[in-house]
Amino acid sequence: MKTLLILGASGDLTGRLLLPGVARLIASGRAPGLALVGAGSDDWSAQKWQERLAESFADALAPGGESTPAGIKELKAVAKASTYHQLDVTAKGELGQFLRDVQGPVALYFALPPAISQKACQVLKKKDLPRGTRLVMEKPFGSSAESAHALNVTLAKLVAEDHIHRVDHFLGKSTVLNIMGLRFANRLLEHSWNGNHIEKVEIIFDEDLTLENRARYYDHAGAGRDMIQSHLLQVMAIIAMEPPATLGEMDVRSSIAAVLRASTVGNAAKPNLLDSSRRARYTAGNIGKRKVPDYLSEDGVDPANDTETLAEVEVYINNWRWAGVPFILRSGKALGRARKEAVVTYKAVPHLPLGFNGLDSPTRLHIGFGPETLTLDLDVNGPGDLFTLDRVRLETELARDPLLPYGEVLEGVLKADPLLSVRGDTAEECWRIVEPAFAAWKAGTVPMEEYAAGSDGPADWTTSND
């Protein structure tokens, strides 16, 4: 790529996440020769844009860390040459006219609300795009399976599928490759990675944060749409997929798609969504020393939206490997502890010889996401009485990329590698999987439960007691 053009450059996402990711990528020497252009609806002066760059680039420009002297010099040059332009991307012909003066190939990053991105793409023409243009879309990809399909049709009229990057920053290179390396490089694990040996898989993303001034987005999305529909289903598919022949994007993304096509919330044994989905909302409480108000009292929250702040669904992958194994996907806010991990719980042994004392606990494998860790819980003898079983934990750190999550994703864009992006068909499948649960929530079929801010969630949820 020669140019990264950010649409929505004056927005919060760009300043808080996207530009720091770009900065770390350039400063580490992994994006040479890149030009940066910003465009937005706000009437910003050149000075105001430079102030935003200075603030977002500050950490990467500081000596130390992964920034190299040559990379820091390059980042300073990129910032100095960067320009900002006021632009209405939904006005017919305006974005197309602007692109004629941008040096290609271009990575066109839509850091915009989904509805605005959709409209911008609808008024664009294929002839407007410089040769080699790649379109970068932020989640959510549509608001339903139907709207996701409509967006895919719009994008397909502009560029080929392998030139579309649907960004899920939770799917950084470290997350994806650590799971695949763990599974496919260890015969001991892969041999038992199926429903014959595994009781359940939990994928948890609990936060101790509250709304953090994001009510305008979150109160319409909720925990289900914000995390489960996108991030957690994608991680589930990587954990559950069949071994790909290569790490090429075609093999990996096709394996992910096969899992999602086979997935449903609930199965024949749990067809009732009351049994296979749950939702809750936080009430007033304390997170550490911080007092947290009731969710409905938070600024910008509309009680009529009936938004959940904690959600859980049991997904079943209806294939030979995983038949009958629940994949429990849970995410929530204002909880007492931050917990970001996948937990693989193995079935109990068929028979424990009589004479052993102590608790016979299930073998558990924990894969941590940020920090990247691996923990194995085992029962072993002793110490002390050799007839007593004790719990031990084997722990290690997994590899991580020093880039920020957005830097990892952007590197794939700039290197024209869509491995870490969400393919169009899987974006639609993710909506198809969860839509029955969302419909049941909206209809009130699944009741809204409550939990105090700072707690572990509703006490009768199994995942709250792990």
> What residue spans define the domains of the chain?
3-167, 173-465
For residue 257 the two structure tokens come to 């798609």
3-state secondary structure of 15: helix
For residue 463 the two structure tokens come to 């995942």
CATH superfamily of this structure's domain 173-465: Dihydrodipicolinate Reductase; domain 2 (3.30.360.10)
| pLDDT value of position 461 | 96
Bridge partners of residue 40, in order along the sequence: 86
Cβ-based burial of 4 (10 A; exposed 0-12, middle 13-18, buried ≥19): buried
Alpha carbons within 13 angstroms on the beta-carbon side of residue 123 total 15
Distances (CA, A) of 369 to 39, 182, 420: 33, 14, 16
38, 83 contact by CB (below 8 A): yes
State the Cα angle at 22 between 19 and 28, rounded to 5°: 140
| pLDDT value of position 175 | 83
State the Cα angle at 26 between 21 and 32, rounded to 5°: 140
For residue 302 the two structure tokens come to 């509309």
Alpha carbons within 13 angstroms on the beta-carbon side of residue 348 total 7
For residue 386 the two structure tokens come to 């050799």
Determine the Cα–Cα distance for residues 233 and 181; give it in Å rounded to an integer. 19
287, 454 contact by CB (below 8 A): yes
| pLDDT value of position 1 | 59
State the Cα angle at 427 between 36 and 144, rounded to 5°: 110
Known binding positions: 41, 88-89, 139, 169, 173, 207, 226, 333
The tokens 């004479």 sit on which residue?
A: 355
3-state secondary structure of 298: coil
3-state secondary structure of 164: strand
| pLDDT value of position 239 | 96
- Listed in sequence order, the residues at least 6 apart from 49 whose beta carbon sits closer than 8 Å to its beta carbon are 9, 38, 82, 83, 84
Q: Does domain 3-167 have CATH number 2.60.40.10?
A: no
Known binding positions for substrate: 169, 173, 207, 226, 333
- Listed in sequence order, the residues at least 6 apart from 76 whose beta carbon sits closer than 8 Å to its beta carbon are 61
| pLDDT value of position 213 | 80
* Residues taking part in catalysis: 231
| pLDDT value of position 167 | 87
User: Pseudo-torsion of CA 146, 148, 152, 153, nearest 10°?
Assistant: 20
Distances (CA, A) of 229 to 79, 165, 177, 433, 435: 36, 18, 21, 8, 9
Known binding positions for NADP(+): 41, 88-89, 139
**pLDDT tens column, 366-420:** 999 878 899 999 988 877 777 878 788 999 998 887 777 788 888 888 888 888 8
Can you point out the beta strands (E) in 207-362?
263-265, 277-283, 285-287, 290-292, 310-317, 326-332, 339-346
| pLDDT digits (tens), the chain, 466 positions | 589 999 999 998 899 889 999 999 999 999 899 999 999 999 999 999 999 999 999 999 987 778 899 999 999 999 999 999 999 999 999 999 999 889 889 999 999 988 899 999 999 999 999 999 999 998 888 889 999 999 999 999 999 999 999 988 777 777 888 999 999 999 989 899 999 999 999 999 999 999 888 888 899 999 999 999 999 999 999 999 999 999 999 999 999 999 999 999 998 888 889 999 999 999 999 999 999 999 999 999 999 999 999 999 999 999 999 999 999 999 999 999 999 999 999 998 888 888 887 776 899 999 998 788 999 999 888 777 778 787 889 999 988 877 777 888 888 888 888 888 999 999 999 999 999 999 999 999 999 999 999 999 999 999 998 7
90, 117 contact by CB (below 8 A): no
For residue 204 the two structure tokens come to 């948890």
Alpha carbons within 13 angstroms on the beta-carbon side of residue 443 total 10
Backbone angles phi, psi at 312, to 5 degrees: -150, 130
Q: Label each residue of 335-372 as H, E or C.
A: CCCCEEEEEEEECCCCCCCCCCECCCCCCEEEEECCCC
Determine the Cα–Cα distance for residues 167 and 412; give it in Å rounded to an integer. 10
